[in-house]
Each structure stands twice: as C-alpha cells, then as structure tokens.
Structure 1
Amino acid sequence: MTSFMRIVRNLTYTSYRQISFANRISVFPKCQRSLHCSSSLFGKMFKERENSHAYGILENKGIAASLSTDMITSPSLSEDEFQTLMLTDWSKKSRTEIYETFPKLAVYCSEHNMCISNKIFDDYIDHLTDNLKYASDDELKTIFYTLNKFPDPESVRTRNYIEVWVALDDECLKRSQNWSYDQILSFVALMYMLNVTRISDFSHKALNKLATRAKNLTPGQLVQALFFIGVWRKSPFDMHNLEIQLKNIFSEFSIDDLAIMSMGFFKSKTPIRDMDLVLSIIDAIIANVKDIHEVSLAALLKLIRYSTRVSLDDRIYRLLDALQHEVPKLSVMCNVHIALLGTTTMHLHEDCLLKIANTVVNNISKTRIKDLERLVLTYGTFNLVPQTKDCFFTKVIDELRKPERMEEINYHGRSYACCLAYLSLLNFYPEDLINKVLSPEFLENAYGKYCYNYGREILMLNYIADIFCSNAVVNRLPVKDAKILAKKYTDYVPSEDHPKQYNVTEKMVLDVIRNLREMRGGKQYVIGDHILPHYQRGDIIICDDPSGAPVDIESAFPTKDFGLLRRPPNDNVWTVLVIAGKNAIIHNTDTATGFFISKIKELKAIGYNATLVPWSIYSKIESTQEKAYYLKQLIENCKKNKS
C-alpha cells in the first residue's frame, strides 16, 4: 500500500477511495440526508428483510452461492500467539503465509469482539492487499468469507475493512473478462455478502455486462442478475433485454423466482413495458395464491402497481378477488400492498377492503403510521367507510393520539400529516391533531425551517381548518407561506390564449370552457381559476344574477389573492364546474375519486354551487349541441341540489 493511502486511512475517509476508486466519491453526498438512508454506504448493518428472504430462496434452490462463513475455521490463537503475529515483519513472509494468517485473525477477533479497524492490523492489511493480485480465484473467495467473519465494522468505509474489500473489488474487475457468467455472479454474491454491491465497480460493470447479454442467460442466471440489480437499486443500460428474456422463458420460473425478479425491476425503478408480461404475472399469482409467501406476494404486487398504467381488462379485479380470502392470514404490511394495488389502478373491491380494515383494526397498535397513512389514502380515494364493528377511522385517530406514538410521529412527521389530510376526505377533522401539525414546532421538526419544503398536505390541512374548523382554536399558516405553497403545488389553468401540448384532461377543460362561452354569450362569462388553492388543478367558474342572466366575472378574482381561499365575492349565484379527468374516475364506473368528491363538498361549504363533469360521460358525447345540453342540465341540477 502506498504511503499516500496510509495517510488517507488515518483521516476520516470523507473521500473513501483516493486513487483507483476516486470515481466512487460522488456516491456519498447523496446519502447524507439522514442516518437511516443508504445504510449499505454507511454501515455493515442489516440486510433488508426482502433481500434476505429472496437470497435465502436462491440458496435453498442451489442457484446462488452460500454466504455462510462457517467454512472459515482455524485453531484459536492464544494471547501470546496473537501478540507474536502482531509483531511479525510481514515483508519477510510469503504470500501463502499471509493468506493463511487472515482466517486465524478473523477467528481470534470474532472470539474477542475485536474490529478489523484496530490500528494494530494496519501493517498486516497493507501486505495482504498488496499480495491479492497473486491469489487464485478460490483464495480470493476465501478472503471474502474471512473478511465477513470479522465482527461487523461501523461502516463499509471503516479503516482496514475498506482496504480489503476495495482491493478485492479491483481484483475482481481485472479478472472478470475471463470469467463465465456463473463465476461473475458468484463474486457479485460475495460483494452482496459484504454489503458493498451499491458501491462496487465490479458489481456495476458485471451487471451491465449481464444485461447486455441477457438472451444468453439461463433461468437461474437471470433470477440472480435481477436480484443483484434490485440490491444495486439502479438499472443497467440494457435493462429492457432482461425483460425480453424473462418473457421468452417465463414458463421456466416458479412464483418465488418471479417475485425475486420483480424486486429487481421495482427497486431499480424500471416498470415492465410489456402489458402481456404483467398479465402473465397476475395469472401466476392467482394460480399460486394459496401457497405464495407474503414477502414474495408484496414484491409482485409492487411491480404490478408500478407497471400498470392502462386498464388490464378485469384482471386486477380478479386478482383482488382471489387475494381477499388470504387477507386474514397476511401481515398488515402485505395487506397494505393489496390495498394500494386497487388504489393505484382505480379498482374498487369493497369486500377485499372490508377484510383488510377488519384485520388492521385487530392489529392497529402494531401498525406503523406509514401503513395507516396508506390505508386511509386508499379508503379516502374510494370515498369508502368500511362497515367494521369499531369505526376504522376513529380507531386510527385514537392511535394517532397515543403518547407512545410520539417517537414514531416525530420521526415520520410527514406520514402523520398526510394521514390527517386523507382523513378529511372521509369527513374526519380531529381539531387537536390538525392544530398540532400546523404548529411551527411540528412543521420545523418534520419539514425543516423553510415553508417551501412543506408538502401539499400542510396546505390542505391549513384550508381544511379554515373551512371546517373555523370555530375552533387551530393554528394556521402565515398568509405568505400559504401563497408560496399554492404557487408550488398548483398547475396553470389551460387557456386557448397560451397554446401548448395539453394532456387529455386539459383538453377536456378547454372544450368545456369553449362550449360554456358559446352557450353564455362570451368569454367574459366563463373563467378558469383556483378557488381552493390546495388542489392541483383549477376549476371552471360561472356566475348568474338573481334573474338567471350571466354576469361578467373576468375581474372577479384579483391575481394578488392567488393562493388564498376565495369565497364568493357577492350574493350572485356562483357555480363551479370541477373537471374529473380520465385518471380521476374509478374503474368501470362514472364515480370520481374521493379527492374530487371532497372538492365539491368544500366548494359547497364556502358558498358555491358545485358539480362534477366526469370524463367517463363527457368524452362519449360527440356533437357540440349534445355537450351544450349536457352542461346546461348539470348546471341546472347543481343549482336545484344546492345542499
């Protein structure tokens, strides 16, 4: 080892590899936000439960190399023998003697709980790493296992530990061009054993190579490659090749194999493009629904949710139908993934959601706030109050009030705030909890000092408090902060004066505005604007005087008030049309999601007539005359049903 590297080791390792591994330094700044992110970079800590489960399957099937260090045995050293070794001049020892000493030190350190970072090992580690280039492949493997035999260091950047694994990484990188796919995967597995997959140059280049040559991979090699891609959490350049190979040999995989590969796609943020492949995965789950392990099921559901952007005939509903009978046997976390599958794809299966609610109510004290948040989102999205023995949402609110939840709330403040915001979709407004979330102390702890970091949920709770908790003493955001957040979280209302590439929903907004202006006699009688600034999209506003004649409202809402709650400016008849776009309609219905139903409720609460214009109906009307008639009927019915 060079003298420069010895100096680096005695520093704090902020630049953890200075010469041959300088290209990795950029990894670390991205991982310093909290103590719990990217643990593989900061410590040799726990392996994720999902990864451990998946690798256990690969080991049991004989596909992947065993990661057990039981093979590393050596007679125990006495204290005198250990001290003698530490005084050895390693420059005079053969490389065979150096290799053979490593297991002895590992066994001694594991017995005496001594970390490899101890300075007394510096000289030995220098000579070990200098001689790795002479080791055979089998000797390299032994050194991997031996390194893992030492007590866990604080971090993969710990002195001596980093020297050894980085030297191993370099050596694997040099030799990999001459290795078979199985050899490459066996050494990638050893990098995984050391928890350095995400920062190993060899692992990255090996996985890119395997992806490029995916069509040559056997089923076992494909499963392993996708597993390690999931551990890496990045997709190789030719990730799509792996998807194609998966489809080509789909019949050769078990349900557990599919689950492991699903982790690779999901964790690398790569949705499956081929919807036929997604359908095949759904069919496989339905066929194995009685036997599938819940960790495997959760992995598959996450990928289906992530990959599904269009309606898959009735397959999602059939999947939920099959899964409902397994709900009581599954963990809360797995049930959450079942619920989220329906939410993401807009498939409402009431029986399944009722069983999930009953299961969670019975285990609510053990349910994480993050999971409560996701479940409340699901029921809020479908505007569904499950008929449980004890009200599900009252139990959630009671749980959020418990003092023993304080530590979790302090750590997961954003989830806590989101949970309260989603409860408002179902008409639950716990004033004490909303007051707590909007307090300056909570906001600073959960989001930081600057209001720009606040989530939309804070703006939502702020205006929910204005509308439904006006008689209670509840904290509010400063007006300036509310306006900043409104500008951040709202979209411009589509306008024909500003042509651009509009999406389906925006084109529908323009079409409704155009038809209303023709009906009412001019541009000045119909505007698009934000009445409720905590919703992303603005709405269409019209106004009639007491006699029913259109009123000019072009200047009704001054720009300076943008970001504030805009109540009707006078006693005329104000009507708001809320466009429920294609993605806002529950599958196979004309019913909008809970967010739009809640928007209508809030508009009515502050004095407007309000009605939905659902895409599922409006898009089927072809002629201008029929659209005009439909809109006229909507507005008239809206005025009649004011309450």
Structure 2
Amino acid sequence: MLIGSMSRYVLPRSHMLLLNRAGALKSRKVFSRSSTVMWPASNIHTHPYVGAKKFTDTENDYAREILLSSIVAAPNVVAALRAPESTQQFDEIIDWEPLSDRELLDQFHQVVEICARDDELCISDERFDSFVHSFVSKMPQFDEEQLVETLKLLVKLGPTPNINTRNYSQIWEATDKACLAKVPSWNTEKLLFMADQWYPLRLAKVGKFVGKAVFKISSKLRKLNKDDLVRTVFYINLTRVPVENMIDIELNLKNNFYRFDIDDLAILCMGFFKTQTPIRSVELISKIYQLTMHNASTVKDISLAAILKLLRYSSRIPHAQCMEQFLTVFTPEVPRISLFCCLHLALLGSDIHLGHQPCLEAVIERFIKDIKLLRLKDMERIAFAIAQNNMTHTDNRDITLLSAILDEMPSRIDEITTYPKSYLTLLHFLTLKDVYREELITAAFEPRFLHMTYGRNVASAGREVISLDGYLRINLRDGGKYSGNYFPEKQFKIIAKMTQDYIPSREYRLSKSDRMLLEILETLQKRHKFAHITHLLPHYQRPDVALLWDSNQRQLLDVASRCPKQYSGNILSRQFLLKDDSDRQELKLISIVAGSWNCYIRGQDRVTGGFAMKLKQLRLIGFEPVVIPWYEWPINSEEAMDTYLFEKLNPLLEQQ
C-alpha cells in the first residue's frame, strides 16, 4: 500500500524541522558516543523525595505500596522525629566537636527546619559546612535508632540539585557507611527494615548498604517466609543486580506458590525481569499463567505489566498452550487495561511465533482509538507484532493503524530525535506491510540524521536499516515510486556482511536450518551438477540455493560461475547475474528457500511477515522461489528427500 507517493517534492516543514534538529544536536555533540549530556539542575529531583532518578519510578512506588501493607515496624528501632531544642544560629562560627551524638542530631533537625522554611536555602550553603563535617565524623558512633532518625531527616530535607550536592552527599554517604558496618550484626528483619528506610531517598542503587544487605540475605532465600522473600526481591529489583543463587527464589516460589497473591507475584516477576533472570521451571511458569488468568478481571495494570514482561521473557515452546489460553482469557480485558499492558499482550507470543488473532485485533482497535497516547517505542513494537504475525485483518484495520502511525510522525519530532533508532526500526516494520511515506524515509536516510543516530560509525547500524534500504531498491525500484535518499552503499555492504550467516559447511557445527539447506544442495547434486548456495538478498540473514534452468537444453547451467566469487554485498538480481542474457526467456532462475520453524506462525502454515517479504523480493529480482517447509522435509531417508524435492521442482522445470 503506497501512501503519499511522489516523484519530486519539497520536504514538509515538519521533516525539515527534524533534519534541522538533527543538525543542531550534532553540532552540540550530544550524539557522540563519548559525549555526556549535561542537564540543567532545575530538571533534576522534582519529587518530594530526594532521588537519584530524574523521574519518579511509578512501578517501584506501586510495589512499595504493596509492601507497606504487610510491613510491621521492628520494635525498639523506630525513632520519632524530635523537635529542635537548640536555637543556635548557623551563621555564627561555633565549635561543633564538643556536642554529643544526640545534640548533633538535634542540630540536624534545626538544619532541616531552616531549609524547609526558606526555599532559597539548601544544605549545600556554606554556613552548614562546619556542622556537616562534625556530624559526619560522629556518624560511625550512631546506633540503629539514630541512623533511622538520620534517614528520616534526609527524606524530610527535600530535593537537592542532585545526589552529589555538597554536604548532602557527605551525610548520605556517611550514613551508608555506618549502615554498611552494621550489616554483619543485623538479622534479616533489621536489614530489610533499614532498606525500607533507604527507599524514599532513591539511593538504593547508588549506595552500598542495600546491595550488601541483599547479598547477606541471599544465603537463606530458600527458607525466607513469604513477606521477607517479596521484600528481598523488591530490593534485588531496585539494585538491578541478580544474586548468585536466584534459583533459590524460584524454588521458594515454586514450593510455596499458593501463599502468594497476584501482587506479591508481580513484585517477584519484577525482580526476575529487571535482573534479566528467566524462570526456568516449566511447571512454575504454567502456574503463573493460571494464577494471572484467575485474577484477569481484577489484576491492576502495573502488576499485570510486570507479569507479562516476565512471561514473555521466560516462556518457551512447552508453554504455547498456556499462552494461547491466557490470551483468550485476556482479550475481553483489552478495553479495561492500560495501553502498556495491551502492547505486552500483543507481544507475548512473538518469541515463539504464536499468533492470537482475536487478541491482536482487540489491541489494534484500542490503539486506533488512543493513537495520540502512544509513545514512539509503543508504535514500533505494535508495528513489529502486526508485521510478524502477517495476518489478514477484518477491513484492513491493521493498515488503518499503521497509516495512523505515519500520520503521527510529523508531531513526534522530539521523540524521533530522542529515539532515532526506534524511528528507523518503525519505518522498516511498516514496509513489511507495504506502508510507507517517501518523505519520512528520505529524511531518515539524510546524512545528518544518520550521523545523529549512529555517530561517525554509521556501519554500526543494524539489519533494520539495510532491510529498509533493500525495500527501496527492490520493491520501489520500478515506476518512479521512490526518488529520495538511500542508505550509503558502502555501509550497506559492511552491515550486510556482519549480519549474514556463513555459508553452511559440513566442516562446522550446523543448525537445523543449515543442515536442511545442505541436505537440499546434496540431494540436488546427485542428479544435477550445478547448484549453488549464496546470499541472493544480502540484507537477509540466511542464504538460499540458486539454480539456473535452461528450458531449451532441459538442463541446469552453471549458476555459480555467474555469482561473485567473493562477498560483494550486491543484490543478485536477474540483471546482475545474467547481464546480456537477462532477456532470454528460456533461462529461468530458481531459488530454493529453506523454511525453518521460525519462518512460520506456530500451528499454522502462514509465514511470518519478514519471510513473506523475502519471498516477494526474490520474485521481484527475477527468481522463482520454491519454499521447503521444515515440517514437510523428510529427514530420515535420502530417497524420500529426492522424491519430495523434485516433486516441488518439476512443475517449474517442465514449464516452457
């Protein structure tokens, strides 16, 4: 489907703005790989809590609220905030050393009160330097109660320009060291309680105490009760560092699964996903599917999103049946749940190529309705899901959504310049459904935009850009359908070489698809001398078997002699291979394509969008593709291979 095709045009104002933005950012060296973006201090720590992040972590705050409902304060640990007793003025020079720990804490109360009353005054003010120096020097002597009080005062102190603000950083770092020193003497309950006090500061990942506390607790993960396990995994999630024995969390969860409710399960899923640790137990994943389905009508969005991310990360082929049931149960919930959850439902089966048309169609309708609320990354991922599933949708609603996404691009300049790789990947996924706009692609392939995206090393780009370029050079080659910029040819060839599979050989370890391709070649060569494995389309990962049939002589000709002896990165079209003989109708080019399992949608004979585009492009460059599906290829008998292969080939060879 061609949208907005034109032979000659002037770039719209929005696309000129995109290129101008790219040039401006390039001139400021923001996009250099070695550069650092300097954000103004006013953009940092807008939350009432002092944080190490620019934005509030909604997911973690939600998990924290769940934990608070089950946390009981440890006895004799919590200290109430004390009202300031001293009235000493901090702008006077005094000696703080003689003051006791308690007196220094009272003075810190006064510092907090002064900063709270005066918006222009921050703890980094030099009048507090002497006090902070003395306060920090006494910190190692503080007991648990005083450390808790200090942390609560830091929370009350409010936002600072950043975590390294003078005086503020000295206090929290000294508190971190003091807590760290007490880790050996604190039990699990106290360690988790102190970690709870650190959370509001958003310093769990930056400081050392929480990580050390989690490390100590990790030695008893199998024996932790439900609440302590959930709290421990919550802090593993915050630090983003998996403990060595993450398997113990999995075993504890598996053995006590029905003690956890859906929100507890969501926190555990966050921990596994954020530390990039899949759950390996097929039985446990099946239980997670079942519990989530049981709570389908009531589960909260954030809990569902956390569970969906882990299910997608951990699910394998044995989970296909559970996954299909899950998507069936959640299809009626699509209008209720968040767009983020809808997106993860659409993506859930993508890794094992499971397509669930009713769910995907429901998500498409929801996204059409709320297109303005989608982020650029959401658009990229839903375009991927639609392209990969390669379904025929009622009234072409998938094309309606993809066209609406294109319509949104001129208003998404800020997002595009922030996530230019997502933009290029989105354009590629759209072309898999033949949806494109020339002005959007030519702006993306403008040298300034490519430099903004990849820096000086444009050859570091991925297959998505050369696939997009291949679409322009093959699908839009004729009829003046495209007259804009292309991806640089030299970089195209470099990326293609880096992303291609090697030509399979018996000398090396073979994958199933490589073995299948070699078996096809060897079966052919038993009857005919000439058959050749090569990359006809350099922007695709896997090679194919090429044949050249002369219908007058009724024999295969030497196609290998017409192919480049070394890698060239060229598209091996009919014109490229046959040159002056390309007009001879008796010469027929045939490509035998091995359809491995990941070229098909599970349980169906429908190919994926990427594989469908490959077959289409092979036809456009002058080949007759013959697909050998993996589930039809007879692997147990050479005679059966020969019979099957020539049953596929003979109809083409017999044509005049």
**With structure 2 as the length reference, what TM-score do the two structures score?**
0.86
* 1:593 corresponding residue in structure 2: 608
How far apart are the structure 2 equivalents of 1:640 and 1:63?
81
Say yes or no: does 1:312 pair with 2:319.
Answer: yes
Tell me the SS of whatever aligns to 2:265. Answer: helix
Tell me the SS of whatever aligns to 2:350. Answer: helix
* 1:518 corresponding residue in structure 2: 526
CA contact (8 A) 1:358 1:388 kept: no
Tell me the SS of whatever aligns to 2:349. Answer: helix
Say yes or no: does 1:491 pair with 2:506.
Answer: no
* 1:533 corresponding residue in structure 2: 538
Distance verdict in 2 for CA 1:557–1:55, change over 3 Å: same
Tell me the SS of whatever aligns to 1:343. Answer: coil
Say yes or no: does 1:413 pair with 2:420.
Answer: yes
- 1:355-394 aligned at under 5 Å gives the runs 355-387=362-394, 391-394=400-403
Say yes or no: does 1:95 pair with 2:104.
Answer: no
Tell me the SS of whatever aligns to 2:128. Answer: helix
CA contact (8 A) 1:214 1:242 kept: yes
- 1:124-143 aligned at under 5 Å gives the runs 124-143=131-150
Say yes or no: does 1:475 pair with 2:485.
Answer: yes
Tell me the SS of whatever aligns to 2:283. Answer: helix
CA contact (8 A) 1:585 1:616 kept: no
How far apart are the structure 1 equivalents of 2:79 and 2:437?
56
CA contact (8 A) 2:470 2:539 kept: yes
- 1:96-495 aligned at under 5 Å gives the runs 96-113=102-119, 114-387=121-394, 391-400=400-409, 402=410, 404-470=411-477, 471=480, 472-495=482-505
Deviation at 1:64, TM superposition (A): 8.4
* 1:21 corresponding residue in structure 2: none
Deviation at 1:231, TM superposition (A): 1.2
Say yes or no: does 1:48 pair with 2:57.
Answer: yes
Tell me the SS of whatever aligns to 1:541. Answer: strand
Deviation at 1:345, TM superposition (A): 2.7
Deviation at 1:44, TM superposition (A): 4.7
Distance verdict in 2 for CA 1:479–1:52, change over 3 Å: same
- 1:603-618 aligned at under 5 Å gives the runs 603-618=618-633
Distance verdict in 2 for CA 1:587–1:416, change over 3 Å: same
Deviation at 1:417, TM superposition (A): 0.9
Tell me the SS of whatever aligns to 2:348. Answer: helix
CA contact (8 A) 2:266 2:307 kept: yes
Deviation at 1:461, TM superposition (A): 1.3
Spell out, residue by residue over 1:242-301, the C-alpha distance to the aligned partner (whole angstroms, 9 max, x if none): 111111111110011001100000000000111111111001111110110111111101
* 1:3 corresponding residue in structure 2: none
* 1:554 corresponding residue in structure 2: 560
Tell me the SS of whatever aligns to 2:432. Answer: helix
**With structure 1 as the length reference, what TM-score do the two structures score?**
0.87
* 2:645 corresponding residue in structure 1: 631
Deviation at 1:42, TM superposition (A): 9.0
More displaced, 327-336 or 378-387? 378-387
Give aligned pairs, total.
597
Deviation at 1:447, TM superposition (A): 2.0
Show structure 2 runs of 5+ residues with no match.
1-32
Distance verdict in 2 for CA 1:151–1:468, change over 3 Å: same
CA contact (8 A) 1:438 1:476 kept: yes
Say yes or no: does 1:563 pair with 2:569.
Answer: yes
Distance verdict in 2 for CA 1:337–1:164, change over 3 Å: same
Deviation at 1:546, TM superposition (A): 2.4
How far apart are the structure 1 equivalents of 2:319 and 2:488?
46
> Which has the bigger relative contact order, CA under 8 A and spacing at least 6?
2
Say yes or no: does 1:503 pair with 2:517.
Answer: no
How far apart are the structure 1 equivalents of 2:60 and 2:486?
44
Distance verdict in 2 for CA 1:505–1:73, change over 3 Å: farther
Tell me the SS of whatever aligns to 2:631. Answer: helix
How far apart are the structure 2 equivalents of 1:164 and 1:388?
63
Show structure 1 runs of 5+ residues with no match.
1-29
Deviation at 1:124, TM superposition (A): 1.3
How far apart are the structure 2 equivalents of 1:385 and 1:506?
31
More displaced, 273-282 or 548-557? 548-557
Question: Could you tell me which amino acid in structure 2 is paired with residue 513 of structure 1?
Answer: L
How far apart are the structure 2 equivalents of 1:516 and 1:541?
11
How far apart are the structure 2 equivalents of 1:194 and 1:87?
30
How far apart are the structure 2 equivalents of 1:167 and 1:429?
57
How far apart are the structure 1 equivalents of 2:607 and 2:106?
70
Tell me the SS of whatever aligns to 1:613. Answer: strand
* 2:16 corresponding residue in structure 1: none
Distance verdict in 2 for CA 1:519–1:262, change over 3 Å: farther
Tell me the SS of whatever aligns to 1:550. Answer: strand
Deviation at 1:480, TM superposition (A): 1.3
How far apart are the structure 1 equivalents of 2:324 and 2:275?
27
How far apart are the structure 1 equivalents of 2:591 and 2:82?
77
Sequence identity percentage:
29
Spell out, residue by residue over 1:312-339, the C-alpha distance to the aligned partner (whole angstroms, 9 max, x if none): 1511000000110100112211111111
Distance verdict in 2 for CA 1:191–1:577, change over 3 Å: farther
How far apart are the structure 2 equivalents of 1:63 and 1:518?
77
Question: Could you tell me which amino acid in structure 2 is paired with residue 111 of structure 1?
Answer: R
Distance verdict in 2 for CA 1:84–1:477, change over 3 Å: closer
CA contact (8 A) 2:84 2:107 kept: no
CA contact (8 A) 1:44 1:194 kept: no
How far apart are the structure 2 equivalents of 1:42 and 1:495?
55
Deviation at 1:405, TM superposition (A): 1.1
Tell me the SS of whatever aligns to 2:625. Answer: strand
Spell out, residue by residue over 1:364-415, the C-alpha distance to the aligned partner (whole angstroms, 9 max, x if none): 0111110011001001001125336861221111112x2x211111111111
How far apart are the structure 2 equivalents of 1:199 and 1:640?
71
How far apart are the structure 1 equivalents of 2:88 and 2:368?
58
Spell out, residue by residue over 1:16-57, the C-alpha distance to the aligned partner (whole angstroms, 9 max, x if none): xxxxxxxxxxxxxx9986679xx9999453331111111111
* 1:7 corresponding residue in structure 2: none
CA contact (8 A) 1:73 1:107 kept: no
Spell out, residue by residue over 1:408-449, the C-alpha distance to the aligned partner (whole angstroms, 9 max, x if none): 111111111111101111122322211111111111122222
CA contact (8 A) 2:551 2:653 kept: no
Deviation at 1:131, TM superposition (A): 0.9
How far apart are the structure 2 equivalents of 1:281 and 1:31?
43
Question: Could you tell me which amino acid in structure 2 is paired with residue 320 of structure 1?
Answer: L
Question: Could you tell me which amino acid in structure 2 is paired with residue 613 of structure 1?
Answer: I
Deviation at 1:106, TM superposition (A): 1.4
Say yes or no: does 1:62 pair with 2:71.
Answer: yes
Distance verdict in 2 for CA 1:577–1:33, change over 3 Å: farther
Distance verdict in 2 for CA 1:425–1:382, change over 3 Å: same
